[in-house]
Copies of this chain bind each other. A is one copy, B any other.
Amino acid sequence: PSATARAEAAERLAGLATPAGALGRLGDLAVWVAATQGTVPPEPVERVRAVIFAGDHGVARHGVSAYPAEVTPAMVQLFLAGRAGVSALANQHGVAVRVLDIAVDADLDGPVAEHKIRRSSGAIHVEDALTPAETRAALDAGAVVAAEEIDAGAQLLISGDMGIGNTTPAAALIAASLGLPAIEVTGRGTGVDGDAFARKVEIVQQALDRAGDRVDDPVETLTALGSADLAAAAGFMATAARRGVPVLLDGVISVASAVLAERLAPGAAAWFAAGHRSTEPAQSLALDKLGLVPILDLGMRLGEGSGAVAAVPLVRSAAVVLRDVALLADLDL
C-alpha cells in the first residue's frame, strides 16, 4: 500500500467535520482502503468478488468433524444454486461469488472443476497432504484465479472455503507457522466436543510432529500439513497482494491461507484486512501475528467467506465517510 496515500488519508480524516478520532476503527479502515488504492479520497468499493475454494481433507475420515465428508459436494451444489449462507449475504451486498472444486472428494462437472487438483487431500497426521507438484499446482491455480478476478475488475477480494474437516489443516498450518502446540490452536470447528475434540487435538499434534523441521519452508508446510484448497487460497492471496488488490479475510481457513501467503510473499499482509473474528482460537492467534484486528466479532463460524462478506458494508462505509463527509474547514462557524 502507498505510504503517501496513507499519510494523506490520515490528514484528510483528521480534517473531517467530526471530532478527532470519533470514527474509531472505521477511520483506520478508511485510511487502509485509501492506502491500498493509492488514492485520496478513496474510490467507493463497489466491485467485491469472493472465491470459495472447496476441498475435502483426509482427516475427516478420522473423527475430527461433526459432519460427514459427503456434505462437501452437497454444499458446492448449494453455492452453485445460490442458496448457501454466503450466497444470501453476497446477494444482499452485491458481492460476486465464484465457487471452485479444488479437491472435493467427488467428481463434479463443468466450470466448477476447471482448477481441480485432486480428489481430497492426505490425512495429515499420517501422510503428506499433497505431493510437492500438487502444492505448486494448487498455488498456481490460486494465482490464476486471483488474476482472473482482478482482470474482471475486483477492487476487493475475498477468499472463502468449504470442506468438511478443514479446520484441522488450518489449525496445523497456523500452529506450524507460529510455533505453537496443537492444544493452543485447535478449536471445535463445526461443533466437536468431548472425546472427538481430544482426538482432533491429538491429530493436529501428530501432524505437527510428523512434519518436524519441514515447516521452516512455507511450500513444504503446505505440502505436509495443508490441503489443495488451502494452498490455492494462499496462492490467490499472495497474487492479490503482488497485484496490489486488497483482500478481506474470513475465518480460520482464510486466515491460515493468509499466514502462508505472508510467508510466501513477505509484506502481503499489508494488503489484508480481517473481516471478522471467528470462534476458532487459531484464527485470533494468527490475526495477532499478522497485526490485524477484525471488523466484526459476532461469534460466527460458518466459513464459506461469510464473515468477510458480512463485513463488506463496513469497508464501504469507511471509504464513503472519508470520501463524502465535509471538511471541518467547510463548516459555517
Contact = CB atoms under 8 A, between A and B. Distances in A.
Interface of A: 16-26, 66-67, 70-71, 74-75, 77-78, 81, 83-85, 87-89, 91-93, 190-191, 279, 295-303, 310, 313-314, 316-317, 320-321, 323-326, 330-333
A310 B314 contact: yes
B299 A24 contact: yes
A77 B92 CA distance: 33
Given A19-B67, A19-B302, A333-B70, A92 B24 contact: no
Contact of A25 (B78, B298, B323): B298
B324 A91 contact: yes
B326 A83 contact: yes
26 contacts: A16-B85, A17-B83, A19-B67, A19-B190, A19-B302, A20-B191, A21-B301, A22-B301, A24-B301, A26-B298, A26-B300, A70-B333, A74-B332, A78-B326, A78-B331, A83-B325, A84-B325, A85-B325, A87-B324, A88-B321, A88-B324, A89-B321, A92-B317, A296-B296, A298-B314, A313-B314
| Residue of A19, A67, A75 ringed by the most chain B CB atoms within 10 A | A19
A74 B298 contact: no
Number of copies: 2
A17 B84 contact: yes
A63 to B, nearest CB: 16
Nearest to A25: B298
A70 B16 CA distance: 17
A190 B272 CA distance: 31
B279 A24 contact: yes
A88 B300 contact: no
B22 A302 contact: yes
Contacts of A295: 298
A323 to B, nearest CB: 7
Contacts of A300: 22-26
A26 B303 CA distance: 14
A203 B67 CA distance: 59
